[in-house]
């Protein structure tokens, strides 16, 4: 049984109004969540789930909610094509809190605009919380968003990142219609 710990201020979101979010996760996945609201420890019983990938996806749903995602967006992870990825800003800047704050601001942008642009152009969901940046999306789109965020964390100009994403839009459109660009 996997154990996870999420921030205490996210426990209420994981449980939901009258337990609605917890119940929805359990109903859609077959897992059973045992939540300790005092410590933030979540025990996930996946013994009734035959699909090992679904078992891992339940963990990702809980992690995503813990990292700031709206539960409805986090539940998308249970879909076959959708994944969750978590970046730690400290992997780029170390433990310096000012550097982490500066990089978090670069990714969010003024009034959240940079994050919104990346979400719109890649058709993903992004949450920036604490030292982490979470991304939810299909594999190809998630990787585009991840690369764009990594470019920002590496110090690339916003315009360069936006250009990269704009150039990738054509392939996104082709993939949506079932066609692929040969590389």
52: confidence class by pLDDT, cuts 50, 70, 90: confident
User: How high is the mean pLDDT of the chain?
Assistant: 92
DSSP-assigned states of every residue in 70-82: -HHHHHGGGSTTE
Residue 77 in domain? no
Ranges 40-44, 45-49, 112-116: which has the least confidence: 45-49
Supply the pTM of this predicted model: 0.90
Q: Is 113 in contact with 126 (CB distance < 8 Å)?
A: no
Q: Does residue 95 lie within any of the structural domains?
A: yes
Phi first, then psi: give them for residue 131, nearest 5 degrees: -95, 5
121 exposure class (CB count in 10 Å sphere: 0-12, 13-18, 19+)? buried
Q: Which structure tokens are listed for 22?
A: 């917890």
- The residue range of the domain holding 18 is 3-68
Q: Would the pLDDT of 30 be above 80?
A: yes
Does one domain contain both 57 and 105?
A: no
Query: Could you report the per-residue pLDDT of 7-23, keeping only the tens digit for each?
Result: 999 999 999 999 999 99
Model confidence at 182, in pLDDT bands (50, 70, 90)? low
Count of domains observed in the chain:
2
In a domain, 182, yes or no: no
What is the bridge-based pairing of β-strands 32-36 and 41-45? antiparallel
């Amino acid at each position: 049984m996997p154990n996870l710990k999420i921030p205490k201020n996210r426990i209420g979101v994981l449980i939901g109004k009258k337990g609605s979010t917890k119940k929805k996760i359990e109903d859609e996945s077959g897992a059973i969540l045992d939540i300790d609201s005092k410590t933030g420890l979540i025990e996930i019983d996946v013994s009734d789930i035959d699909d090992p990938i679904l078992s891992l996806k339940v963990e990702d749903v809980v992690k995503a909610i813990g990292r700031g995602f709206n539960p409805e967006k986090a539940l998308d992870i249970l879909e076959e094509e959708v994944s969750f990825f978590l970046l730690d800003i400290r992997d780029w800047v170390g433990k310096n809190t000012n550097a982490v704050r500066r990089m978090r601001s670069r990714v969010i942008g003024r009034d959240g605009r940079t994050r919104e642009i990346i979400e719109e152009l890649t058709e993903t969901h992004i949450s920036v919380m604490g030292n982490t940046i979470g991304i939810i999306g299909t594999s190809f789109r998630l990787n585009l968003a991840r690369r764009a965020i990594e470019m920002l964390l590496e110090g690339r100009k916003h315009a360069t990142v936006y250009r990269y994403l704009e150039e990738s839009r054509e392939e996104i459109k082709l993939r949506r219609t079932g066609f692929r660009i040969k590389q």
